[in-house]
Amino acid sequence: MKTDRRWMLLCIVGGLLLFFGGGGLGPLVQSAPFKTDKLAVLIVHDASETTSLPQWANSTTPDSVNGWTKAHGGDFRIIDQKSPTRLLDQKWQDAMAVPRKSVPWIVAANPTRGISQAIKDGAAGEAEAKAALAPLGGP
């Protein structure tokens, strides 16, 4: 009987952590925050603040976030938060409409799931972004 209660409690706590994000557990993959037919990664920043965009975001090397996205058949964009979006493809308009608490912010999706979270500068920030994107895996 004690084992059944412990198991039930463990399942409830685990479910709550998954549902509410788990705080310190890092980013959790969610349903796609915008509609896309393939992997799409957007970094939103504030062009008026020179430190708003992490240095690693502009890298196009194969091991960069941009390189990883393209290697997985996806599209990658960096857009200023104040840029007009009406001339962009619909997926980028939808991605820009995803609520964000700050900039820089990364929002990414494949046809079924995605992420939306703040990003940081430096190697640790890039590693965190790559780890968050890994479950999306491409088209």
**Quick check: 94 and 44 in contact, CB under 8 A?**
no
Exposed/middle/buried for residue 6 (C-beta within 10 Å: 0-12, 13-18, 19+): exposed
Using the predicted structure, report yes or no on whether residue 112 has a pLDDT greater than 50.
Answer: yes
Write out the residue range of the structural domain in which residue 4 sits.
1-26
CATH number at residue 78: 3.40.30
Using the predicted structure, report yes or no on whether residue 108 has a pLDDT greater than 50.
Answer: yes
Q: For the chain, what is the domain count?
A: 2
Using the predicted structure, report yes or no on whether residue 42 has a pLDDT greater than 60.
Answer: yes
Same domain, 129 and 66: yes
pLDDT-derived band at 109, boundaries 50, 70, 90: very high
For the chain, give the percent of residues with pLDDT over 70. 78
pLDDT-derived band at 18, boundaries 50, 70, 90: very low
**How far is 10 from 14, CA to CA, in rounded Å?**
6
Same domain, 15 and 52: no
